[in-house]
Amino acid sequence: MRPAEIEPVKLVVSVLSSETDAAEKALGALKKRFGETDFKSKECDFNYTDYYEPEMGKGLKRTMVAFEKLVPPGELSGIKTFTNGIEDCFLTEAGNRRVNIDPGYLTLEKLVLASCKNFAHRIYLDKGVYAEITLAYKAKDFRPLEWTYPDYKDAPMLEMLREIRRIYAKNIGRGA
């Protein structure tokens, strides 16, 4: 059997910051590179972990976006290095991030997130970037895996991802 043509995927990005202005500027840089969004969440409180507090402070908010233009899944490592570059544009004088940008992609079957951290369940892509399947779509809904972050298991996030999946299904001509 030979590899089949790869279907383009829905680029999704989480932007995390305690500074609304910095987050909006980062979103602007993303739109300049990837085009218009067809999904943008409201800012949501991010209180699932204190992991980012030493670097980014308290009061973090997350905005999730998905882009109209579909991308090849093989571009994920380049997208992650690009988003790291945007983060670097918003560093404090002490070198701390003011914005955390986590890209990934959604297909009808799964949500894949990019990371620069290796772990047992992550696959190396390129340029120091790894990918993990964060959620699997089975039995008509997203299902967490043993390593799925708590925020990606939460009802509001799952509802956003269901909506993005509906949009993606229309994008690729597979109905609602």
Is 109 within the bounds of a domain? yes
Over residues 28-62, the pLDDT tens digits come to: 999 999 999 999 999 999 988 888 888 998 999 99
The crossing angle, in degrees rounded to 10, of helices 76-89 and 20-34 is: 140
Structure tokens given for 164: 């993005």
Has residue 94 got a pLDDT over 90? Answer: yes
Has residue 175 got a pLDDT over 80? Answer: no
- Domain range spanning residue 140? 10-171
Prediction pTM value: 0.94
Is 4 within the bounds of a domain? no
Using only C-alpha atoms, the chain has a radius of gyration, in whole angstroms, of 16
Is 46 within the bounds of a domain? yes
What CATH number should be reported for the domain holding residue 45? 3.30.70.260
Is 176 within the bounds of a domain? no
Is 1 within the bounds of a domain? no
Is 2 within the bounds of a domain? no
Helix ranges (DSSP H) in the chain: 20-34, 53-56, 76-89, 150-153, 155-171
Q: Which residues contact 147 (CB under 8 A, 6 or more apart)?
A: 119, 121, 132, 134
Considering its fold, how many domains does the chain have in total? 1
Is 151 within the bounds of a domain? yes
Is 131 within the bounds of a domain? yes
pLDDT tier at 92, thresholds 50, 70, 90: very high
pLDDT at 49: 86
Backbone φ and ψ for 106, nearest 5 degrees, come out as: -120, 135
